[in-house]
Chains A and B, each alone.
Chain A
Amino acid sequence: MTRKLILSSPLLEITISRLCQELIENQIDGTETVILGLQPRGIYFAERIAAELSKHLENPPALGKIDATFYRDDFRRGDPLSPNSTEIPFLVENKRVILVDDVLATGRMVRAAMDALNAFGRPAKVELCVLIDRIYSRDLPIHPDYVGKNVNTLTTEKVLVEWTEQGHEADKIWLITQ
């Protein structure tokens, strides 16, 4: 097994800052936009995005977490799935929702998250922001609106994201080859 570093500080901060500029350029604001981090690992990236946006916007979008475990398409088809917490302390009805995840690969989690989101109301618009896009791994017709970095990967490879919030020394994103 080999691991190759594909993104780390200070380039990571620049990437997050650039994504936030793109979001601001697309006219997000706190009254009609909300940010939802995808459990379990997208929440750290979502927190970074929300923190960066609050530096630039007077009225930054509210931040929540959404867990899509109960909507996954592989339940009873492999290992047992344990749920994580969902915290959406605001209404999503008629809002512009930015779904945030760390890595986009098959798109199946995003599909599940969109189903989960519908249980809370009918958003006006749903957009997707990811840190890493494994562009050739998609199983579903899902395309991100905001991408930190595109990565070409084989099915035998994995992208691992380490955040300091999880207890790691530094934020690092690795490409792991089995």
Chain B
Amino acid sequence: MLTSPHLLGIKDLDAESIDLIVKTAKEFKEVLNRPIKKVPSLRDVTIANVFFENSTRTRLSFELAEKRLSADTINFSASGSSVKKGETLLDTVNNILAMKVDMIVMRHASPGAPHYLAKHIKANIINAGDGTHEHPTQALLDTYSLREKFGDLAGKKIAIIGDILHSRVALSNIYALKKQGAEVRLCGPSTLIPKHIQSLGVEVSHDVKSTLAWCDAANVLRIQLERQQIKYFPSLREYAQTFGITRKMLDELPKEIVLMHPGPINRGVELSSDAADSPHSIILDQVENGVAIRMAVLYLLASRG
């Protein structure tokens, strides 16, 4: 059983909980390959997907996971809502809860927004991304996809390459990978790697070629221009030249590595098209596994009653 009624971040999750979620997701992946891909477990549960920030994959993935579990769902997005009229976060969510909702899946631009909600409301809260802080279900589906490839992650070398500073995927992945005993190396321009990040037990490199040669799997991240108020590097073209990964670089490596990306990909910037579509890439497996992982998280949180 999960120790917390919420999934706010990987930081508060222990290794056993990660194992439990991955093990449960494995059974849900089997369900998703049945002729009828739906189970009745959550038929008495109502879930609100509350998205204060844009999302394609995560939102569709959560919605599909909820429907596969037979939950009732309602969707809320900040654009075109009363948020624009000045309603506070707590008021918005309390109004949704007044309609007898059991669980809230929330994405918000402010780090800590789901943690704040968890203190003030009674429903189960799942963080679907809070600003530059955490994105726990993404790290769990990355873990699941890596375990499908490698089995155990202990001692495996995982590189996270790109805009670490603005990435909630990076932070959640660092926590998840370290808890499972993997070695983690971050790679990117020094302006996009947070100071003191080594205190989390990770290595830092600024050379993408040697990082690719070192790792068993590379998780490549997008440059998050929407979160960058100042210029962190001279131009996207220069970034692509220095940190972009091409098919040629992958083919020249002494061993085959696994290539991941949480999406959306900026083709030609962090990944060339031929690299993104190469056999190294498990990007679409990640998306498939995302539904199973989210079903597992919803199921395990709901099972606490």
Query: In whole angstroms, what is the CA distance A123 to B98 when docked?
Result: 44
Distance in Å from the Cβ of B199 to the closest Cβ of chain A? 35
Q: Which of B27, B31, B305 contacts A76 (CB 8 A)?
A: B305
Beta-carbon contacts of B273-305 to A below 8 Å, as 1s and 0s? 000000000000000000000000001101111
The answer to whether residues A71 and B40 also contact, given A80-B300, A80-B304, A85-B27 and a CB cut-off of 8 A, is: yes
A119: interface (CB < 8 Å): yes
The count of A-to-B residue pairs whose CB atoms sit within 8 angstroms is 50
B39 touching A71, Cβ below 8 Å? yes
Query: In whole angstroms, what is the CA distance A82 to B41 when docked?
Result: 12
A70 touching B41, Cβ below 8 Å? yes
B86: interface (CB < 8 Å): no
Chain B: interface size category: 20 to 34
B35 touching A86, Cβ below 8 Å? no
The answer to whether residues A76 and B302 also contact, given A70-B39, A85-B30, A118-B36 and a CB cut-off of 8 A, is: yes
User: Which residues in chain B, 1-26, are within 8 Å of chain A measured between CB atoms?
Assistant: 1, 20, 23-24, 26
A81: interface (CB < 8 Å): yes
- Chain A residue numbers with a CB within 8 Å of B41 are 70-71, 75
Distance in Å from the Cβ of A18 to the closest Cβ of chain B? 34
B34 touching A76, Cβ below 8 Å? no
User: Which residues in chain A, 102-132, are within 8 Å of chain B measured between CB atoms?
Assistant: 115, 118-121
A77: interface (CB < 8 Å): yes
B residues near A (Cβ < 8 Å) are: 1, 20, 23-24, 26-27, 30-31, 34-41, 44-45, 299-300, 302-305
Q: List 6 A-B contacts (CB under 8 A).
A: A67-B27, A70-B39, A75-B302, A75-B303, A120-B35, A120-B36
A residues near B (Cβ < 8 Å) are: 67, 69-71, 75-77, 80-86, 115, 118-121
